[in-house]
């Protein structure tokens, strides 16, 4: 006689939902319940757990409920949905099966759930000895109908994640990629003895680490062929964070080598491969212009600006509200929204999932959690070659501003330093900007009004801008320059600027006015806690160079006009010309209109490492 029952039987016996019984098992509230593999076995004589409420219906206040732990860094779908608080994203499977594109690329910022979603797809589709339907029977996809359930567990799957391939050299990178491929071949050890597979010699070369680079470049194609031969069904290929090695190659100087390898690897597996059922890729950037996907006319790209799949990467507002309620932090929703909301994927409002999870784990104390999850070298690279316009736009973002710019969602790393629009394209797809509104341009890309998403990203910008400046400006020098501006001390400002230029700037750095403008604007941006810093804005009868609008009306307003001369002997005259320009063109109009009565006006002239300053 069977002395145990399944969750379904216990639910019917006790008048509870299956999900509720499963939850009670996980919390240890059903005496004698044990897990056999992935199935709960409940003693037939087990008692229905008592309701932990008193008869009046009021909850007992002195007993804190045992909430599920938070899935910090958990990217294993089976583990996430069984042991942790899991937000159901399985309707992504429904949306895919409604269209059935051959190859899909999803581009999203780092830490937005890409790896977990890809593992969810792998678990759903992969043919294994285990009955993996148990991981989906209480999920949204299971109620969508037989049409969708019929795909569950029916395909051989190749799954490789490049998210941790962050090496200093191409040799190390190639070794790590090849090791991942070897492990995936070994995961399909059934192929070694299959009488249906005719490529066993190739299989053995891979698993014995005897294959050369050309053979590794063919590995996705060959493994899909062997799986097709063995199972009689074309394989699914899932490549997670495909562009991480590419970004690393750009940063460390082996870009050409990694691009060539990836092009051949992906072309073999995804282009005109009759052994492929479907392909899924994730990354931050779409890199079509690099011809990695050259000729791949079956590729469908879903970027942060596209409508489809908008709700499946990151958390929606409803999901965050439910999560806050579950962790008894309903009153914290506005704070969570201020810090971690603000992204828009298509038309869907999205919260940063990594930061929200860490916020709850950190006892609802807000911090810039996302900042520490990856390298921000790219921002430093942008600032290293930024001109006055870029500094001005970054400054306006830090003040809560926005601007319209062209966005190319297929931006590639080598373009970032050469094309200003590529800078903003990268910042958008990487999660440092949000698109307030977007319109499709005649080229097929977008014109977007962009801004900073939230308080967390604002702190990242502040940190990165100040870090970059600190490489050429010591904190003490920056403080002295800011003090000179606020005190209208021309002598101190001249002394500190010349010292800074002598110590930090090469001759080549000082050959253009953009350098001086960018340097001054960056120094002023550090005063953003006290001032609204703007640049090249219209006021009066012209456009000032830099304006500092005080946030408190009793503080002085500051106007700075910059000039560059070829000879140091001309600087005093140029400084006075700059000062007179402020007066003649009435640059103080905006400050006066805001009720600022004390206004410091600086005419600053540069030549090489020499400075002259006129003030009034």
Q: Which of 87-101, 297-311, 380-394, 511-525 has the lowest mean pLDDT?
A: 380-394
- The encoded tokens of residue 211 equal 């294959």
Question: Is the pLDDT score of 243 beyond 60?
Answer: yes
User: CB pairs under 8 A, 24+ apart, for 517-520?
Assistant: 517/388, 517/391, 517/545, 517/546, 517/562, 518/386, 518/387, 518/388, 518/390, 518/391, 520/545, 520/546, 520/560, 520/562, 520/604
Which pLDDT value is given to residue 65?
A: 47
Residue 76 sits at the vertex; the CA angle it makes with 427 and 148, to the nearest 5 degrees, is 95
Q: What is the pLDDT of residue 470?
A: 56
Tokens at residue 288, please? Answer: 């079509």
Do 429 and 435 form a contact (C-beta atoms < 8 A)?
A: no
pLDDT in tens, 61-82: 333 346 899 999 999 999 999 9
DSSP3 helix / strand / coil % (the chain, rounded to 5): 45, 15, 35
463 backbone dihedrals φ, ψ, rounded to 5°: -65, -45
- Quote the CA–CA distance of 332 and 340 in Å, as a whole number: 12
Phi, psi of 573 (to 5 degrees): -65, -40
Mean per-residue pLDDT, 112-141: 96
Better pLDDT: 474 or 326: 326
Model pLDDT for residues 259-294, shown as the tens digit of each residue? 999 999 999 999 989 999 999 999 987 765 556 776
% of the chain beyond a pLDDT of 70? 86
| pLDDT band (50, 70, 90) for residue 386 | low
Reduced to 3 states (helix: H, G, I; strand: E, B; else coil), residue 263 is helix
**Does the structure show a pLDDT above 80 at 109?**
yes
Q: Phi and psi for 604 in degrees, rounded to 5?
A: -120, 125
Report the 10 Å Cβ neighbour count for 200: 14
Mind spelling out the 3-state secondary structure of 425-451? HHHHHCCCCEEEEEEECCCCCEEEEEE
| The pLDDT of residue 500 | 81
pLDDT digits (tens, 9 = 90+) for 7-17: 888 877 777 77
Buried residues in 238-257 as b, exposed as e (16+ CB within 10 A):
bbbbbbbbbbbbbbbebbeb
> Mean per-residue pLDDT for 328-333?
94
Quick: pLDDT tens for 179-217.
Answer: 999 999 999 999 999 999 999 999 999 999 999 999 999
Tokens of 309: 């799949």
Q: What is the largest CA-CA distance in the chain?
A: 105
């Amino acid at each position: 006689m069977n002395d145990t029952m399944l969750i379904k039987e216990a639910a019917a016996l006790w008048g509870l939902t299956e999900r509720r019984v499963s939850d009670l098992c996980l919390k240890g509230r059903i005496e004698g319940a044990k897990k056999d593999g992935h199935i709960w076995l409940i003693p037939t004589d087990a008692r229905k757990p008592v309701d932990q409420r008193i008869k009046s219906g009021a909850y007992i206040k002195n007993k804190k409920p045992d909430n599920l732990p938070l899935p910090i860094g958990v990217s294993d779908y089976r583990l996430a949905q069984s042991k942790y608080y899991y937000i159901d994203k399985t309707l992504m499977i429904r949306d895919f099966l409604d269209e059935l594109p051959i190859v899909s690329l999803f581009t999203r910022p780092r830490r937005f759930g890409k790896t977990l979603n890809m593992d969810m797809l792998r678990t759903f589709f992969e043919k294994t000895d285990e009955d993996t339907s148990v991981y989906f029977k209480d999920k949204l996809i299971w109620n969508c109908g037989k049409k969708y359930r019929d795909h569950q567990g029916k395909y051989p799957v190749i799954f490789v994640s490049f998210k941790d391939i962050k090496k200093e050299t191409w040799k190390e990178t190639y070794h790590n990629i090849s090791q991942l491929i070897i492990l995936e071949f070994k995961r399909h050890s059934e192929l070694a003895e299959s009488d249906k597979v005719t490529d066993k010699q190739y299989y053995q070369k891979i698993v014995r680490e005897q294959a050369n680079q050309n053979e590794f470049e063919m590995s996705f194609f060959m493994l899909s062929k062997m799986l097709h031969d063995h199972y009689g069904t074309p394989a699914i290929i899932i490549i997670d964070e495909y562009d991480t090695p590419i970004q690393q190659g750009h940063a460390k100087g082996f870009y050409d080598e990694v691009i060539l390898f990836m092009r051949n690897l992906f072309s073999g597996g995804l282009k005109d491969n009759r052994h492929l059922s479907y392909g899924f890729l994730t990354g931050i950037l779409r890199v079509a212009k690099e011809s990695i996907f050259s000729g791949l006319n079956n590729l469908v790209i879903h970027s942060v600006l596209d409508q489809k799949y908008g709700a499946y990467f990151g958390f929606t507002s409803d999901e965050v509200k439910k999560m806050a309620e579950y962790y008894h932090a309903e009153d914290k929703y506005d704070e969570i929204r201020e810090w971690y909301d603000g992204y828009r994927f298509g038309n869907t409002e999205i919260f940063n999932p990594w930061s929200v999870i860490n916020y709850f784990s950190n006892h609802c104390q807000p911090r810039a959690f996302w900042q520490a999850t990856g390298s921000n070298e790219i921002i430093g690279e942008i600032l290293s070659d930024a001109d006055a316009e870029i500094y001005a736009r970054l400054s306006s973002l830090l003040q809560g501003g926005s601007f319209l710019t062209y966005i190319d969602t297929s931006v590639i790393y080598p373009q970032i330093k050469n094309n200003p629009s590529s800078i903003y394209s990268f910042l958008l797809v990487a999660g440092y900007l949000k698109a307030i509104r977007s319109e499709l341009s005649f080229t097929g890309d977008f014109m977007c009004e962009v801004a900073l998403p939230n308080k967390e990203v604002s702190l990242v910008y502040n940190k990165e801008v100040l870090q970059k400046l600190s490489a050429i400006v010591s904190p003490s020098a920056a403080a002295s320059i800011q003090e000179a501006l606020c005190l209208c001390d021309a002598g101190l400002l001249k002394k500190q600027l010349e010292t800074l230029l002598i110590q930090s700037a090469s001759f080549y750095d000082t050959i253009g006015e953009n350098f001086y403008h960018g340097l001054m604007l960056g120094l002023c941006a550090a005063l953003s806690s006290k001032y609204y810093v703007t640049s090249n804005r219209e006021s009066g009868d012209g456009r000032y160079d830099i304006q500092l609008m005080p946030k408190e009306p009793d503080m002085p307003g500051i106007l700075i006009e910059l000039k560059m001369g070829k000879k140091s002997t001309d600087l005093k005259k140029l400084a006075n010309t700059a000062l007179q320009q402020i007066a003649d063109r009435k640059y103080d109009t905006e400050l006066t209109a805001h009720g600022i009565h004390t206004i410091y006006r600086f005419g600053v002239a540069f030549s090489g490492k020499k400075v002259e300053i006129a003030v009034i």
